[in-house]
Structure 1
Amino acid sequence: MNDLSSLCKKAQALGFYGSYTRKEDYVEDLSDINVFALSDDKSILLDLASLGYSPVVISSKYFEEICMKGDPLCHYIYYDSDLICGEFPAVKPSINEYTCKRFANMSISSIQLSREAFLRQDEKGSLTWTFRSIRSLIQYISCLGGSIPFSNSQIKEKCLSLGKEVCETLYIIQEKRERLEAISASLILKVEKLVKSVIKETV
């Protein structure tokens, strides 16, 4: 974090978001260290990337636009972040049909990326994308009810409303993620079937 404080002068707001902000959810050598900056100065993107972070740099105006639109990125930055410096614009994220549809699409695309990673023997990639797929699926269903879980504990709590199969699959993937264990093709296929069946039932 000390490396980033010098960049505060370039941004209206700067901080970490995602699992890195929660010690219990962050997995060394697997989780990304996501950083966001609300700034019109695009040079900060190179600054952050050169420090080894996965950066998102957007203007404050664009941030307001995606928040009003209901984009999940706004929800992550606004609700699932630790600010290093600055403040957010006076806008609250919306939850609407667009928000939920984006989570559904993220779930579908993530399991496709998991399958591709598995085929090229990228064990960490297939594990990461499978976890993101089932997490996005649970976020999608929760979104339909007007809320969005972010932390692993919130995701576990919400999965109970989706039935035993979804929860048991989530637990297996989370355990493998914590232990950095490779997942099987059958588990990827199981998640893919769950994603398709749950989304089909709710569309």
Structure 2
Amino acid sequence: MSEILEICKKVKLLAYFGSYTRQEDFVEGISDINVFLISEDKYLILELASLGYSPIELSEKSFIDLCEKGDPICYYLLYDSNVVCGQFPKSVKFNLNDFTCERIRRSIFPLLSLSVSSFLRQDEISAVSNSFRALRSIIQWRSCTDLKTIPLRNDDLRDRCRELNLSICNEFSDIVLIRRRKAPLSLWSLDKIVEAICSELKISCTKPSKILQVVKNPIQVTYKEDGRVTVKDSLNRETKIA
């Protein structure tokens, strides 16, 4: 904490954000400790990273521009944060719009790709974390488009999932429990997550179990928005699966 207070002397704002501000959702060893700062000093990013934080640094103008544009990161920083020192710019106002919802939607497949790739590389923490984020993004996207709100807390996400009658609610509840227990993700569970996400998006996707049947030693998977999958193996050979 003393290091953080020292950094406070060099910034206009420093705040924790994300699950670290919600102790009921924070999982030690799995959740990142996210820190946001408004500053022009790029060295502070390295300093915070060396202390084990996951930092985001923006100039005051860049932050205001993000908020006016409706970038979801502004929403998270404004409404899911605890300020340590300084204050947000008084003129800042978040503009939730179609761009906001689309940015959330576009995060789904990269997160799903990271989850499956991590599982294949036996990175258990990343597989669970990115599965959680992909499912969360589905709920936030639908809530953004249908209700013009973005739920943040896990309990609110579960409630919103049921309210919207989404097909991924069981998978989301399961991944929250797996994450809290720091348990590994099984291939069967990952298959269900991929199937549920793609079903919600009304496309057909290749399950991880099928990828393992088709490609020997897969290490990187990229899901496209049309359901196509590109797989790289340990020799960097590429296989496309329709």
TM more than 0.5? yes
SS for the counterpart of 1:6 is: helix
Q: Superposed, which structure 2 residues align to 1:154-193 within 5 Å?
A: 154-163=156-165, 165-193=167-195
Across the two proteins, how many residue pairs are aligned to each other?
Answer: 201
1-structure distance, mates of 2:166, 2:45: 43
Contact 1:66 1:74 in 2 (8 A): yes
Contact 1:111 1:130 in 2 (8 A): yes
Instruction: Report % sequence identity.
Output: 42
Structure (1/2) with the larger strand percentage: 2
The amino acid across from 1:93 in the alignment is F
Q: Superposed, which structure 2 residues align to 1:1-203 within 5 Å?
A: 1-89=1-89, 90-144=91-145, 145-163=147-165, 165-200=167-202
Contact 1:35 1:54 in 2 (8 A): yes
Contact 1:176 1:182 in 2 (8 A): yes
TM-score, L = length of structure 2: 0.79
- CA apart distance, 1:165: 3.8
Contact 1:111 1:188 in 2 (8 A): no
User: What are the Cα deviations for residues 46-94 of structure 1, in whole angstroms up to 9, with x where unaligned?
Assistant: 2211211111111110001111111111111110000001111121111
1-structure distance, mates of 2:125, 2:63: 31
Larger Rg: 2
Give structure 2 stretches of 5+ with no counterpart.
204-242
- CA apart distance, 1:198: 2.3
- CA apart distance, 1:95: 1.0
2-structure distance, mates of 1:92, 1:192: 36
For the aligned residue pairs, the C-alpha RMSD in angstroms reads: 1.5
> 4+ runs of 1 displaced by more than 4 Å?
none
Structure (1/2) with the larger helix percentage: 1
TM-score, L = length of structure 1: 0.94
Contact 2:171 2:196 in 1 (8 A): no
